[in-house]
Amino acid sequence: MGYLCTACVTFFQVTPQGRIESAILPQIAQPSFNPSLLLSYCAMDKPSNASPDPPDFSEPWKFSDVVLVVEEQRFHVHRSTLAFWSPVFERMFMSDFKEKNSDEIPLPGKKASEIKELLQMMYPSLEEKVIKSDSCYFLLDLAREYQIASITRKCEDFLVSAVKTRKENDVLAALIVGQNYELKTLIRSCVCEARRLSLKQLKHHTKRAEIDSDNYLEIAEGIIERLEEQCGKVKASCSQKLLDSSWFLYRHVKSKEGISTYLSPKIHRSATAGQYLNAVRGSESGLSEVAKHLTELKATLETLP
């Protein structure tokens, strides 16, 4: 069984007998596997002159044993590190591919800047390499091609955070990215956040046709549910204000002796808006027309869900 120490870029082979085989660390090979000793070695402080920057890869370093050639640039890397991160590279080095024993491996069709960014995600440094908006999407492409699940997760975490904190302005575009790369957490976050949109924004989005039908339906239903809830709150608030206005109008007209038929004292303050308005409309005051308009407004409010 093999282990990779990402802190010192060292690959350890543990034999069936429990021995550690490592050309770099022969001093810790011993008859029985002692994980605590290995961990203590890997946890040792880095040299005081260690660079906080990610590796440059432009020259041989730390027992590098293979070179990736991209756009005429050469990246000196380690087979064990590539194989640890990527099943694609692992098969390349373990199977009967020509790259198995090659000192140089060309990567045609790739951009050197993007491959360097990928390698810096794979190799440790004093400062962890973070995902950024300008690197996230090509890293997703490379992570899918080379089957690097951990980098895919980091990219997904970055996009989910951007969606939840609303730093991502186009949530539907992020949803399509989630669909294309089968990022379930991102899809769920985008569907939930997209419910804040209007139906018009959803319907007229330039990439509407790329949204999976199930996701589109769930978003549309969520928007409708949100609008119904908001409509219900507005209806309740307006109805209460209409009731209060009707009561004050009734009380004002009554104080001026303009109502021929008053409400009975029993329901005087517990009447409905309709009862107050009907009483005012039956009065001889000049406010009967106002009561008529408020009655029409009440009828309109009652049509809302």
pLDDT of residue 132: 92
Q: Which CATH superfamily hosts domain 48-129?
A: Potassium Channel Kv1.1; Chain A (3.30.710.10)
Name the pTM for this structure.
Answer: 0.71
What is the tens place of the pLDDT at every residue in 70-118? 999 999 999 999 999 999 999 988 887 776 778 999 999 999 999 999 9
Edge-first strand order for the sheet with 73-77 is 73-77, 66-70, 104-106
Q: In angstroms, rounded to a whole number, what is the distance separating the alpha carbons of residues 247 and 263? A: 11
Q: In angstroms, rounded to a whole number, what is the distance separating the alpha carbons of residues 93 and 90? A: 5
DSSP H helical segments within the chain, as ranges?
A: 35-42, 79-85, 87-94, 112-122, 133-145, 149-164, 171-181, 184-194, 199-203, 213-255, 273-281, 288-301
Both tokens of 15, joined, read: 């034999």
pLDDT of residue 57: 94
Contact 28, 22 (CB under 8 A): yes
Query: Which residues make up the CATH 3.30.710.10 domain(s) of the chain?
Result: 48-129
Low-confidence ranges of the chain (pLDDT < 70): 1-53, 99, 126, 257-269, 284-285
